[in-house]
Structure 1
Amino acid sequence: MLAGRCSSKVCFAGKCVTMTSPYFMQTRSVVTRSGNQTAGCRPAATVGSKLTNRRRTADPVSSVEVKVEVEEARIAEQKTPSDSSPKGGGYELQQQASVQPETVADAPRLSSHNRRRRQLKVEYDKDESVSLVKTEHWEPPDWKKQLGFIREMRSSHDAPVDHMGAEKCYDPEAPAHVRRFQVLVSLMLSSQTKDQVTAAAMQKLRAHGCTVENVLATDDETLGKLIYPVGFWRNKVKYLKLTSAMLQKEFAGDIPKCVEGLVRLPGVGPKMAHLAMDIAWDQVSGIGVDTHVHRISNRLGWLRKPTKNPEETRKALEEWLPRELWSEINWLLVGFGQQVCLPVSPLCSVCLNQHSCPSAHKNSPTKRPKVKSSLSPNSSFNTKTEPGQEAAIKDEGTKKESLLTAGSPSTQRRRLKNKVKH
């Protein structure tokens, strides 16, 4: 009994027996049979000290296993990624890894198996940014005052478009579908053509019979003579034939009642389609923008940024111009461009918008009289000459004129330079 309670090693008759009870401390002390303590041995501990030492030297493996089981149970209950590693358990896990690797290796696998990721639900706002962009309204400054001045300048109704436009070229006595076809034909012929030439061609076509059936029955040569000299008349003969055939086949001789159907016709563009909808069907589908409307809108600064073609101008104008003005704006600006705001050398001095137009007096510079050369025989430049030198100057001018009439231009300039040097 004494040997079982003394230490882990007890000698009996010169032999040492190793004891594995946890009640003994891990020491190398040896006790003889008589009870005397040899070197390295110490007397047996009391019951209180044994219990204290038991708490201090308890097997770390059992405590770590209990710790891991408790943590796994808590993780299984909570199932949140934030609690995957227990707080303050780093020291115990290190001991567990050094003592029992298999038990510690199983812990992360169990915890990762029990964890479930929460799926995030993504929600978007209801197009608040788009609505803010759409509500932003831009309009050019002073456009109402400029439009009022243009109306005042167009009040006389004496521009070519007022008497020879597309709304004046159809036969008012013809059936409705024939009138609509004649409006479309006049718009097709007006491309790159002055209104006077278009009106004359339409008058000849109406006398011949401007209907779908008559156009199809007329040969190309005769049709070309009827519409000559409109711009690109050969191409327009082909377009008239193809368009008439499509109208007879798909629309029973009438024209389409929508922009999409009109632009499908050969030789019909967006400008013609919108004007045809306004004149023939009395429906405003868009702004008819030709060269006059395109030019004047850019000159007046009615566009947020300059445009390169009429279609871009149409889209830019429709963004800010009130819809009730879409039908009137083409008629106003075309007549204004024919009389005042000309393509070349506009009459800015008589325009009422010359003080508010950003392009005023820029495209119409003041013409300066040409300065005549003093060597010319008809020159009005007076020089002081002596009585004997006047005839010599006239003879020299005559010689230079003869040089200009002979040889190529480069040879003439070379000869004239050599003559002046000498």
Structure 2
Amino acid sequence: MPSAKRAASPLLVARPSPYHASVTLFSNASSLITVDADASPRRSKRVKVDVKVEDEDSLPETRPAKKARTKLAPRASTSTVKLEEAEGVKSSRAKVKRETSASASPRKQKAIPQSLDTPHPAPPNWRDTYDTIKRMRSKIVAPVDTMGCDQAQNKETEPQNRRFATLVSLMLSSQTKDEVTDAAVAKLREALGGSITVGAVLAADESAISEAIAKVGFWRRKTGYIKQTAQHLQDDFDSDVPKTVDELCSLPGVGPKMAFLALQVAWNINVGIGVDVHVHRITNRLGWHKPPTKTPEQTRLNLQSWLPTELHPDINHMLVGFGQVVCLPVGPRCGECELSDGRCPSASKTVVKTSTRKVTSRRMAGPKVEIEVEDVKTEEVKITAPSDEPLSPLSDASGA
């Protein structure tokens, strides 16, 4: 029986199929086969094959060749077989991604907003409330008066060190009472050799700083923040505290409240209100925000839109001391506050209720004895101003 196998054209080169031993593959002898020179000797099982034949219609074609071309390659102009190593591709892609991230420019610091698009209206009778609190504060000595962030500069002689000590004190005060912050600042000054300076912080071991501030909240994180901030100040600001809010907020561990207070205390620059938890809580209890604000930043923007600029530096110190002694976060002393006469929509009044009951005592012999016992009960009653809705007290997680 004559063989059905056709003679191969001299223009084709035969080679055994790598997929089946009984199949012969044919390719154009004039075409070039290129292999990626960078490919590793260890080949992946994944193969990308691009077979392109010029003048395809002019060449005789056998069934095995047609079957192989149809199965393995699309039509094009050149023959190319490209072998890729799977692991090599993944690693190269990861390398490119890392290089792209490294070469990308650092993200620009977002500017701190200074005003609202629509100013918040001034609350009615706010001036009377403000003056009343100011009068009450003049009779109160609060922790912030003797141990606040402005006190840290008093032990320094050089103006540059006074500004840096103020900034460090503000960084330590977050989520920490003034009494603890003041003690930590004194201990840190001692650990640094008697003066809080940028150079002394950079020269000190982190363990020495951590031991000095170990009583403040989040002391481990703040240790790193203080070291990093000192390095930034040395590299970018000539070892001094910057004079803008955005530059201050670019420092590790420094937020808007610290930035505004640092400018007021260190540079005597008034560009906004430093709002902490006390200012946030008290102004909401007074009903100064409609609707009530949820964050100190919202409170700051509301207050700055209507409170006169000349009062911005004083309101923080005034309300912090008031919140530390009278308008406490839990159990506010409304009985000692003059605003509980109806001007504060969140005021509560202690009402004492008494009742009497008779207790009879009988003995085997002798007269009957009756004793009256007086029961005293106290309860807090909310006193609400007629035109305002009462606000629930806000929780306070920090002291200063």
What's the TM-score bracket when you normalise by the shorter of the two chains? 0.5 to 0.7
AA of the residue aligned to 1:289: V
Aligned-partner residue type, residue 161 of structure 1: V
- Aligned to 2:121, what secondary structure does the other structure show? coil
For residue 211 of structure 1, report the CA deviation from its aligned partner: 1.0
How far 1:171 sits from its partner (Å)? Answer: 3.6
Partner of 1:283: 269
Equivalent residue letter for 2:215: P
Q: Deviations over 1:323-348 (max 9, x none)?
A: 11000100110000011100001011
Summarize the Cα distance change of 1:282–1:213 in structure 2 as closer, same or farther, 3 Å threshold.
same
| Structure with more strand by fraction | 2
Residues 368 and 134 (structure 1 numbering): CA distance in 2 closer, same or farther, change over 3 Å?
same
Instruction: Give the secondary-structure state (helix, strand or coil) at the position aligned to 2:217.
Output: coil
1:167 and 2:150 are equivalent in the alignment: yes
Q: Choose which of 314, 317, 321 in structure 1 pairs with 2:307.
A: 321
Aligned residues: 243
| Partner secondary structure for residue 247 of structure 2 | helix
Alignment correspondent of 1:205 = 188
Whether the 8 Å contact between 1:345 and 1:365 is mirrored in structure 2 is no
Residue by residue over 1:179-205, the C-alpha shift from the partner in whole angstroms, topping out at 9 and shown as x without a partner, is 100000000000000000000011112
Q: Residue 170 of structure 1: SS of its match in structure 2?
A: helix
- Distance verdict in 2 for CA 1:218–1:135, change over 3 Å: closer
Is the partner of 1:353 in helix, strand or coil?
helix
What is the CA distance between 1:156 and its match in structure 2? 2.7
Query: In structure 1, what residue type is equivalent to 2:280?
Result: H
Deviation at 1:215, TM superposition (A): 1.0
Higher relative contact order (CA 8 A, sep 6+): 2
CA distance in 2 between counterparts of 1:268 and 1:162 reads: 22
Alignment pair present for 1:153 and 2:136? yes
Whether 1:243 and 2:243 are equivalent positions in the alignment is no
Rounded to whole Å, the distance in 2 between the matches of 1:294 and 1:215 is 33
Q: TM-score, normalised by structure 2?
A: 0.57
4+ residue runs over 3 A deviation:
133-137, 364-369, 380-387
- Of 347, 358, 362, the residue aligned with 1:360 is 347
1:338-361, CA deviations, whole angstroms, 9 ceiling, x for partnerless residues?
111000010111101112001111
Matched-pair contact (CA < 8 Å) for 1:341–1:348 = yes
Equivalent residue of 2:322, what SS?
A: helix
What amino acid is aligned across from residue 313 of structure 2 in structure 1?
Answer: S
1:256 aligns with 2:242: yes
Structure 2 unaligned segments of length 5 or more: list them. 1-115, 365-400
Identical-residue share of aligned pairs (%):
51
* Cα pair 1:180 1:280 within 8 Å, conserved: yes
User: 1:192-245, CA deviations, whole angstroms, 9 ceiling, x for partnerless residues?
Assistant: 000000000111122233111111111122111101200111110010111111
Q: Secondary structure at the match of 2:339?
A: coil
Using a 3 Å threshold, how does the CA distance of structure 1 residues 356 and 185 change in structure 2: closer, same or farther?
same
1:350 to 311, 336, 354: 336
Spell out the pairing of 1:382-397 with structure 2 (5 A cutoff): none
Letter in 2 for 1:156: K
**Structure 2 residue 208 is the aligned partner of structure 1 residue 222:** yes
- Give the Å deviation of 1:247: 0.6
CA distance in 1, matches of 2:156, 2:173: 22
Compare the two structures and name the one with the higher helix fraction: 1
- Is this contact kept in 1: 2:119–2:306, CA < 8 A? no
SS in 2 for 1:341: coil
Query: 2: distance between equivalents of 1:190 and 1:215?
Result: 18
* Superposed CA RMSD: 2.5
Q: Structure 2 matches for 1:90-129, cutoff 5 A? A: none
- TM-score where L is the length of structure 1: 0.54
**Aligned mates of 1:381, 1:216 — CA distance in 2:** 75
Structure with the greater alpha carbon radius of gyration: 1
Tell me if structure 1 keeps the 8 A contact 2:275–2:297.
yes
- Kindly state the Cα deviation for residue 303 of structure 1 after the two structures are TM-superposed: 1.5
Counterpart secondary structure, 1:287: coil
235, 257, 265: which one pairs with 1:271? 257
Aligned to 1:301: 287
Tell me the distance in 2 between the aligned counterparts of 1:200 and 1:350.
30
Q: 1:178 aligns with which of 161, 170, 174?
A: 161
Shift of 1:302: 1.3
Q: Distance in 2 between matches of 1:198 and 1:383?
A: 59
2:227 is matched by which residue type in structure 1? Answer: K
Measured after TM superposition, the shift of residue 253 of structure 1 is: 0.8
The amino acid across from 2:268 in the alignment is: D
Aligned 8 A contact 1:304 1:316 in 2: no
Secondary structure of the residue aligned to 1:181 is helix
Q: Secondary structure at the match of 1:169?
A: helix
Are 2:169 and 2:185, in contact at CA under 8 Å, matched by a contact in 1? yes
